[in-house]
Amino acid sequence: MRSHFNHYLELTKPRIGLLVIITAYLGYYLGLRSIESYMVNFNEWIRLLHLLFGMFLSCSGACVFNQYVESSIDAKMDRTKSRPLPLNKIKPSNAYMFGMFLFLFSTLYLYFFVNPKTAILSCITYIVYVFIYTPLKKYTTLNTLVGAIPGALPPVGGWIAATNSLSSPAWILFGILACWQIPHFLAIAIIYADDYKKGGLMMLPSVYPNSHITSAYIIFFTIALTCVSLGLFAIKYNLTFTIGALCLGLIFIYYSINMINRASVKNAKKVFYYSIAYLPLLIFLIIFTF
């Protein structure tokens, strides 16, 4: 019974869900600060809990459907062939029903316990991820850019949950998450280029293995990430944040530039590991200084 539960839990990719609730919290926190609220109201905490629960379920449903659609592809790739669906530990029909339940329940939950706008945004995120990004992975290398859209919407959802409106700082948060995802996932694509090729997925390093195109993308978006993150002083200028965000960004750019000199797996791993460190450090810096 426990192993069966673990298989379903694995389908939901809880680590991705954790990232979603952290970034949704960031959007919620900054949204409240933008209207001079400091989370001292009990109802604001309750709404936050509803938001995080609903967003986590929505993300889980999207991850389940993604694996349902790509189960035959996952079976060909070393890094994914041990997932529950390729190993037939869960029936595809059960995974489909599980994903559908999570999608419908999370949408209704956010609609009634947070607000309709957040529910609609969550629904849009789900649709773009499952029905646009996932199929595109087989047809175009631009899939990484498209996939960054749903991955960057959780903080926007948090902002809307806090303010019931959409303003420019929310789109700055969107820009930060969107720009961060490109070097992060392209680094993964370099590390597992052969695997993606076996799966028939159109990733830049697999399609253009001896080109500087992937490295150029990584450098461009790390520079863009640094510039966009500095735009947060539109909410409130803070010298500590500006210096901290600039330093974090310059280190990221340094690792990215090394990719032009040598687009090796070793350098890609440096970009990947730093991207993992960069995002929580930036989030902590934002919360600490704002």
pLDDT digits (tens, 9 = 90+) for 146-173: 999 999 999 999 999 999 998 888 999 9
155 shares a domain with 28: yes
What percent of the chain is predicted at pLDDT more than 70? 98
CB 157 within 8 A of CB 122: yes
pLDDT score of 3 more than 80: no
Q: Which of 6-20, 63-77, 94-108, 255-269 shows the lowest mean pLDDT across its residues?
A: 255-269
- pLDDT for 210 equals 75
177 shares a domain with 240: yes
- pLDDT for 1 equals 61
Domain of 37 in residue numbering reads as: 1-166
- Candidates 141, 160, 105, 161; CA nearest to 217 is 141
Which residue, 110, 131, 166, sits at the end of a domain? Answer: 166
Which residue, 97, 132, 166, sits at the end of a domain? Answer: 166
Which residue, 132, 149, 166, sits at the end of a domain? Answer: 166
The mean predicted confidence, pLDDT, of the chain is 94
265 shares a domain with 243: yes
67 shares a domain with 53: yes
pLDDT digits (tens, 9 = 90+) for 188-223: 999 999 999 999 999 999 998 877 899 999 999 999
* CATH code for the domain in which residue 93 is found: 1.10.357.140
Domain count, the chain: 2
45 shares a domain with 187: no
192 shares a domain with 122: no
- pLDDT for 2 equals 62
- pLDDT for 173 equals 96
pLDDT score of 81 more than 80: yes
186 shares a domain with 42: no
Q: Which two tokens stand for residue 232?
A: 């947060």
Q: How confident is the model at residue 23 (pLDDT cuts 50, 70, 90)?
A: very high
> Residue 244, Cα to own-chain centre: how many angstroms?
22
* CATH code for the domain in which residue 243 is found: 1.20.120.1780
162 shares a domain with 23: yes
CB 108 within 8 A of CB 80: no
